[in-house]
């Protein structure tokens, strides 16, 4: 299935929010509980915050907020002349790492669980990597240690674990930090 990757727009906000919710529930309900997952998604992927992230990255060379959709969905939305309710498969957001601006921080990369293992995450990651500003020498991302899906995906795409630390999400919860040379 062919995926189209493009810059996110404010028309994508609700779809992005729901992709985050679906992904978090699929991975973390057994770890954190469904109610905590809803609270985290509502906080971390608040509609106003998503809008700000999307509009801020449009004019930056060192950041991107991308969405992926199947080519047939993109063609029908384009042909209709409107983008009111896009059917997105995934999204990714990258900004400079706060402590080292030579490092790209992959803040999130999520794909609808219904299309896991169909190439959406790969095409998003490859698009980000090829489009990153030349000032970046590597990309880094934190993944909660209980996220076997995220860990497997990252390791299969050439990321190496460089650190394990407290996540700050909940007491006793840890995250691995992964890094990949560009």
Q: How far apart are CA 40 and CA 52, in angstroms?
A: 18
Whole-model pTM: value is 0.89
| Residue 74: per-residue pLDDT | 55
CA–CA gap between residue 61 and residue 134 (Å, rounded): 9
- Band the pLDDT of 108: cuts 50, 70, 90: very high
Cα distances (Å, whole numbers) of residue 53 to 36, 50, 181: 23, 5, 25
Is residue 177's pLDDT more than 90? yes
Structural domains in the chain, CATH included, are: 3-137 (3.40.630.30)
Q: Is it the case that residue 127 has pLDDT exceeding 70?
A: yes
- For position 70, what pLDDT does the model report? 86
37-93 pLDDT, tens digit each: 999 999 999 999 999 999 999 888 899 999 999 876 555 554 545 544 468 999 999
Separation CA 49–CA 10 (nearest Å): 11
Q: What is the pLDDT of residues 1-36, one digit of tens each?
A: 688 999 999 999 999 999 999 999 999 999 889 999
Does 117 have pLDDT greater than 60? yes
Confirm if 125 and 92 have CB atoms less than 8 A apart: yes
pLDDT, average across residues 167-175: 82
- Averaged pLDDT of the chain: 89
pLDDT at 126 over 50: yes
Encoding tokens for residue 109? 């990369």
Helix (H, G, I), strand (E, B) or coil at 99: coil
């Amino acid at each position: 299935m062919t995926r189209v990757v493009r810059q996110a727009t404010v028309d994508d906000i609700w779809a992005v929010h729901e992709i985050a919710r679906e992904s978090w529930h699929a991975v973390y309900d057994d770890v954190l509980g469904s109610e905590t997952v809803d609270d985290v998604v509502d906080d971390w992927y608040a509609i106003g915050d998503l809008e700000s992230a999307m509009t801020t990255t449009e004019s930056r060379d060192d950041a991107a907020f991308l969405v992926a959709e199947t080519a047939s969905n993109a063609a029908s939305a384009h042909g209709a002349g409107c983008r009111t309710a896009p059917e997105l498969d995934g999204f990714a957001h990258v900004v400079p790492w706060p402590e080292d601006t030579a490092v790209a921080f992959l803040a999130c990369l999520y794909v609808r669980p219904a299309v896991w293992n169909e190439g959406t995450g790969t095409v998003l990651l490859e698009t980000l990597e090829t489009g990153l500003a030349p000032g970046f020498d590597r990309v880094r991302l934190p993944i909660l240690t209980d996220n076997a899906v995220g860990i497997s995906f990252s390791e299969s795409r050439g990321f190496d674990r460089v650190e394990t630390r407290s996540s700050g999400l909940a007491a006793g919860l840890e995250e691995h930090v992964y890094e990949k040379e560009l």
